[in-house]
Structure 1
Amino acid sequence: MKLTKLLIATGLSVLSANSVMASNVPHAEPWTAKEWLETKAAMPQGDIDKGKLLAQEGYCYSCHGVGGNNPTQSTPSLAGQNATYTYKMLLDYKSGRFYVDHKSHVMVNVMQYYNEQQMADMAAYFAAQPLPYAEYVEKDVDVDPAIVRLVAKGDTSRMIVPCASCHGAHGEGGMNETPALTGLSPRMFIRQMQKYKDGERHNDVNAGMAQFTKELTDDEIKALADYYAQLKPRGVK
């Protein structure tokens, strides 16, 4: 474990010196449904305690906050996130499937030092933490009924399925690799949705999100970002 810690620290130092270039990033083709189903079936059982130790020794908290709850909008919170989704994202960083810009450098580099079991352990640890409730957004705002309808019912005229059908009625995430959206910072939400819409992010299986985001307006994306940021996790009053 000390070796892993040393390698990660070394990798971060290299990155801070801007010596890792996009040409050095590993490359993998987008997931096929068959490939992802096989990978998901082979996902190791995660160990929460080992995952906590890995997160501590890997300095995850320095970017993602204590317990994976980041109080800023700079990087995503991992607390309460679907374990399968987190595991998939870590695999995507390691393989280069998720490399959208220079901000991906750190995670792509760091994940080269982890194996699948360690990724599953960290995913299990963060999944066991409570979902965040963002403190940097205005609460109890009036939400556009059209956005509530889009979340709950979708828009058949544009072939957009309800957000809640995959991400849960409270944004808590669905089954399998569907992520939780509750408490996600508006800046992070908008950035990732725009990457899907512009065709710069393509690690979604069957290109589902890429298809839906192309039909959304920029105003709708912003409104959805605000909606999920202020949405209370299930059980929070």
Structure 2
Amino acid sequence: MKIKALLIATGLSVLSVSTAFASGHAPQSEPWTMKEWLDTKNQMPQGSVDAGQKLVEQGYCYTCHGVEGKNMTQATPSLAGQNPVYTYKMLKDYKSGRFNVDHKSDIMVHLMQIYSDQQMADMAAYYAAQPLPYAQYVAKDTEVDPGIVRLANKGDNSRMIVPCASCHGAHGEGGLNETPALTNLSPRMFVRYMEAYRDGSRNNDVVSGMAQFAKDLTDEEIQGLADYYAQLKPRGVE
């Protein structure tokens, strides 16, 4: 029934989506070049919050990502308050096969085949319009190792590790364009993503920026950063 509703919303045939799911072969693309990403970003359609809300509701996105993009589980990420360019890029990455870390990504890779660029921009606009939540997964103001706080805000010159805050904001609220907010990202998702960057199974970051950052991090540092950002209050939140 969910797939039927999704087809009605997008106006596609049963055959088209059945082929995408039954083939079992996700699309494959080479990693982004800077030029390719900049061209794609510049061609991103203007998203409509209202149209995005309809798509999200008709596509049952809340079953995995929570009502209004606020997911209370650690199985999938919350999308509320994320930069629309970041969400759009991620949806494009799923559609192209650039982001297909493991079997957990398969459903998104297949689902995105039936959405247009305009529809992906609309969904990104809807989620960006929702308030950015925080401390859903751990208690706010949880005590964090000062070394982890220093790594997040100052980096580590001895290992040429730049501070997370230089791109993701001092409060984890996200930076310009496709740089995502990290506050409220579930620790489980954070660890999964960082390990994938570190071992090379995730390569959808433009010019491998995150892969270079993650390659020298220890398991303990990744877990520490995950816990730090899970409880960090975003700028402007009382």
TM-score after normalising by structure 2: 0.91
Per-residue Cα deviation, 1:155-188 (whole angstroms, up to 9, x for no partner): 1211111101100111110001101111000000
Larger displacement relative to structure 2 (125-134 or 166-175): 125-134
Runs of 4+ aligned residues of structure 1 deviating over 2 Å after TM superposition are: 3-8
Does the CA contact (< 8 Å) of 2:51 and 2:123 recur in 1?
A: yes
Aligned match of 1:89:
90
Instruction: Give the CA deviation at 1:135.
Output: 2.7
Aligned match of 2:8:
2
Aligned match of 1:76:
77
Aligned match of 1:133:
134
SS in 2 for 1:175: coil
Structure 1 46/216 Cα, relative in aligned 2: closer, same or farther at 3 Å? same
Per-residue Cα deviation, 1:1-53 (whole angstroms, up to 9, x for no partner): 72527769x959x96xxx553xx110110000110011111111111111111
Does the CA contact (< 8 Å) of 1:71 and 1:134 recur in 2?
A: no
Which AA in structure 1 matches 2:93?
A: D
Per-residue Cα deviation, 1:188-230 (whole angstroms, up to 9, x for no partner): 0000100111110000000011111011111000000000000
Which AA in structure 2 matches 1:118?
A: Q
**1:226 and 2:220 matched:** no
SS in 1 for 2:37: helix
**1:174 and 2:175 matched:** yes
* Distance in 2 separating the partners of 1:137 and 1:82: 23
5+ residue gaps, structure 2: 1-6
Does the CA contact (< 8 Å) of 2:9 and 2:58 recur in 1?
A: no
**1:214 and 2:211 matched:** no
User: CA RMSD, aligned part only?
Assistant: 1.9
Which AA in structure 2 matches 1:122?
A: M
SS in 2 for 1:72: coil
Structure 1 115/148 Cα, relative in aligned 2: closer, same or farther at 3 Å? same
Does the CA contact (< 8 Å) of 1:26 and 1:94 recur in 2?
A: yes
* Distance in 1 separating the partners of 2:158 and 2:114: 46
**1:194 and 2:195 matched:** yes
* Distance in 1 separating the partners of 2:89 and 2:180: 10
Per-residue Cα deviation, 1:123-147 (whole angstroms, up to 9, x for no partner): 0110111112233313322211111
* Distance in 2 separating the partners of 1:134 and 1:56: 25
Aligned match of 2:151:
150
Alignment of 1:90-105 (within 5 A): 90-105=91-106
Which AA in structure 2 matches 1:130?
A: P
* Distance in 2 separating the partners of 1:5 and 1:81: 27
Instruction: Give the CA deviation at 1:110.
Output: 0.6
* Distance in 2 separating the partners of 1:5 and 1:131: 32
Structure 1 69/6 Cα, relative in aligned 2: closer, same or farther at 3 Å? farther
